[in-house]
Amino acid sequence: MAEQRSYRLPTSVVPERYEIRLTPDLTLWKFTGEVNITVQVLQAARAIVLNAAELALRSVTMRRPDGAVLHGSAQLDDENEQVVLSFPETLTPGAYSLQIQFAGVLNDKLHGFYRSVYKGVDGQDKPLASTQFESTDARRAFPCWDEPAFKAVYQVTLVVDDKLTAISNARVVRETAILATGKKEVVFADTIKMSTYLVAFVVGEFEGTAPVTADGVPLRVLAVPGKKNLGDFAAAIGKASLEHFSHYYGIAYPGDKLDLIAIPDFASGAMENLGAITFRETALLVDPHKATRAELERVADVVSHENAHMWFGDLVTMQWWNGLWLNEAFATFMEMLAVDAWKPEWRRWDSFAVSRAAAMQVDGLKSTRPIEFPVEKPAEAAGMFDVLTYEKGASVLRMLEQYLGADNFRDGIRLYLRRHAYANAETTDLWDALEESTKAPVRALMDSWIFQPGYPLISVEKSGRTIRISQEIFRYMQDGSDSERKWHVPLFLRVGTKSGTIEQTLLLVERERNIEFDQAPDWVVVNAGAHGFYRVRYSPELLFALRRGMMTYLTAVERFALVNDTWAATLAGLVSLTEYLELIDQMAGETDVNVWATMIASFHQLHRILDDAQYEKLADRLKSVLAPAVARLGWTVRSDEGELESQLRGDLIGALGVVANDRAAQDHARVLFSEYEKNSESVDRNVVPALVAILSHTGGITEYEKFFARFENARTPQEETRYLFALAHFSDPELVDRTLELTLSGAVRTQNSPYLMRGLLLNRRARERAWSFLKTQWNEMNRQYPDNAIPRMCEGIIGLVTPDLETDAKDFFTTHPVKQGTKQIEQHLERLRVSVDCQQRWREFPRV
Ligand SMILES: [Zn+2]
């Protein structure tokens, strides 16, 4: 037998079916349970090893194939979260039934089987219990083979208070009252064969939307009482996306019902438990008449993403955690397809450019990582839930899809899913299926993107009828390392010549290549459609031609890429800040919401980098770009405008009042907000966040208390987080301190506090206080917050743009390592380094 890693389970005994019976106590926050597992002993053994953590095991018995019962003893291995069950005789190969009785706690760390408390409609605190098992926390709820490759069937029974609702992955078979106990037994049907991390139990008071039929099964949205009216929007996209996927994949939804459940305390955005998807409230519950378009898009995205997982992840699952990207990149890619089909007017693939840019920001660092890398310990999988897995992964899949053609790509996916249904697969299996169905060299192409970190900068120059295209690694900080790296780059060319426009797709595998045309090109677009995961650097002559014909030669998403690539080149020192701002000056007539989004993000970054005197001058210049754009749209909605235009209005007003610090806009925002307080219909929903941003940026104690009260009494999850996170934008030191206190006082849910803290670190006028607070409260934060939130909170350190704060941050993380996010911390520090470096480089700006 190969040498066994201590944290991996032996494969000599495998589970086939679990019967799990749990009795949670929502008063004392604990539970008791019993599990009967049908196992196959494949090789003779005296002991069985499986996973368990934070559980007390009470009795262990094993029924032999002949019916005889053996009593076993359990020895816990806390370090590896395993338990070794020893028996008085050797277990010879065959089918056994393993029974374990155990007890555990409903913890407050938002993983395993955990507690959640919320205020009921009567104002009283109400208890609820939910689960979050991915990656490796099923073992905190019941002893199990807690690795994705040990797929099995689960039959769950929950014993709960009579008045409560119990939900699990499959439909309810029967509910029986248990006499004189005030309790009932809820028995659920068998699940499909699946991995432990997808098992779910939820117990509490719930109300649901009326079930709709989606792909032949009932679909409901469930929430704690008083909120079910916020579930209709999610039910609509839930149904639409489930039907979209069943059609796209050519395979029916694998479950027997689908519940989308909002949980008041939730560590991530949502979790794809088969048939019982759990969400944080902001990602599921929304009032479509009050929420902004961006907030609605977020709900549509997350619901579609989780539904996509029912096939990609649940039906076919990665063999081990190194393949997590297969699940997540695909679900992210599929979420775009479904939302784009549902609401084409949102132009979802265009706004995906914003996500792609976020991934390129991290992937342009030396401290980036490949999409797929070896994962040894399961705990290392925790570090994989980041923009590289989700957004870079989805971007390279989109690039591949566009290169192969949408139908060819889909056919390959169908083959892959059919071949590995109810089982596990690895990245290589996907390339096999795509190569088989498309006959294209998918593996060589994709290996260069999946197993290599970073991405190329494509340089383009023209010489007569020839254009020369070359690739080299893009880095914000160039130190000459990894310069030998090359990618298989799908180039999507659009070339303007005297006799018309030529479109051409080709694969650049070499360092450089010449392409000859019949006539000399007037202009060239290398990444047409902006599907490519690379940046483009045009020669001055070609750039001049493109800028002259910006609105004619380039689509909106291509203008996005031009601005975003130029900003990245500016941060990297390849383009001067003056040159970048000249491009911005030219963009005042821009009408696309995403192009503006990337410009506005760069303004915020400049605000963190430049000193006060520099920034004051820059703000005037930004005003001259933003004010005409706001004037063109006006402050009120026109009846003939689309949702994206309304969103753009909000974004521009917010930027004018905050980053451009425009007094007139600030005054007008105050007037509008007081009207909004009297009549919430008086201001367009897409403008409200801009008013809140401006009032928190400029306001004092009056606005602070107003916003705090609105946070506490919010009627929708979106309102609640809008006013909560606005508290991070005040500048008065006393108010900053008040918000800092809130992050640990219990007044804010631990699912939100780390992000409030991140906002404070990113606030230029609060950053020093926030940083010293973080340092002194570090242990308490680590005790209170969910593990996955700590590295995300620390992203705020990219705002500490002074040489002293940077040194301090570096020292701090040397002595306070974040074990679940080593890579992310390294990346945050490098992003900070890039900004501090720019601060030094731009010291003379704009004085020269
Ligand atoms: Zn996912």
pLDDT in tens, 671-680: 999 999 999 9
Residue 599 binned pLDDT confidence (cut-offs 50, 70, 90): very high
User: Comparing C-alpha atoms, which of 307, 202, 311 is closest to residue 261?
Assistant: 202
293 CA distance to ligand 1 middle (Å): 22
493 CA distance to ligand 1 middle (Å): 33
846 CA distance to ligand 1 middle (Å): 45
For residue 120, is pLDDT > 50? yes
Establish whether 306 is a catalytic residue: yes
- Among candidate residues 205, 295, 306, 719, the one labeled active-site is 306
In sequence order, the 6+-apart residues with CB closer than 8 A to the CB of 643 are: 293, 345, 346, 686
Interatomic CA distance for residues 761 and 759, integer angstroms: 5
Provide the 3-class DSSP secondary structure of residue 385.
coil
135 CA distance to ligand 1 middle (Å): 12
Exposure letters 672-709 (e unless 16+ CB within 10 A, then b): bbeebeeeeeebbbbbbbbbbbbbbbbbeeebbebbbe
> Over the stretch 432-453, which tens digit does the pLDDT of each residue have?
999 999 999 999 999 999 999 9
For residue 588, is pLDDT > 90? no
193 CA distance to ligand 1 middle (Å): 19
Res 382: pLDDT? 81
271 CA distance to ligand 1 middle (Å): 7
For residue 102, is pLDDT > 60? yes
Interatomic CA distance for residues 814 and 781, integer angstroms: 18
Compute CA 351 distance to the chain's CA centroid, rounded to the nearest angstrom.
Answer: 15
For residue 3, is pLDDT > 80? no
272 CA distance to ligand 1 middle (Å): 7
For residue 847, is pLDDT > 60? no
Res 113: pLDDT? 98
305 CA distance to ligand 1 middle (Å): 6
Residue 381 binned pLDDT confidence (cut-offs 50, 70, 90): confident
What token pair was written down for 659?
């980053």
389 CA distance to ligand 1 middle (Å): 10
132 CA distance to ligand 1 middle (Å): 13
> Over the stretch 21-69, which tens digit does the pLDDT of each residue have?
999 999 999 999 999 999 999 999 999 999 999 999 999 999 999 999 9
> Over the stretch 295-348, which tens digit does the pLDDT of each residue have?
999 999 999 999 999 999 999 999 999 999 989 999 999 999 999 999 999 999
Contact 117, 127 (CB under 8 A): yes
268 CA distance to ligand 1 middle (Å): 10
For residue 2, is pLDDT > 80? no
Provide the 3-class DSSP secondary structure of residue 379.
helix
Provide the 3-class DSSP secondary structure of residue 322.
helix
Percent of the chain residues topping a pLDDT of 90: 97
Type of residue at 175: E
Res 1: pLDDT? 39
Interatomic CA distance for residues 451 and 392, integer angstroms: 12
What token pair was written down for 526?
């290398």
309 CA distance to ligand 1 middle (Å): 7
Res 816: pLDDT? 98
383 CA distance to ligand 1 middle (Å): 14
88 CA distance to ligand 1 middle (Å): 44
817 CA distance to ligand 1 middle (Å): 27
Q: Model-level pTM?
A: 0.97
468 CA distance to ligand 1 middle (Å): 40
Exposure letters 474-500 (e unless 16+ CB within 10 A, then b): bbbbeeeeeeeeebbbbbbbbbbbeee
What does the pLDDT average to over 375-379? 79
> Over the stretch 483-516, which tens digit does the pLDDT of each residue have?
999 999 999 999 999 999 999 999 999 999 999 9
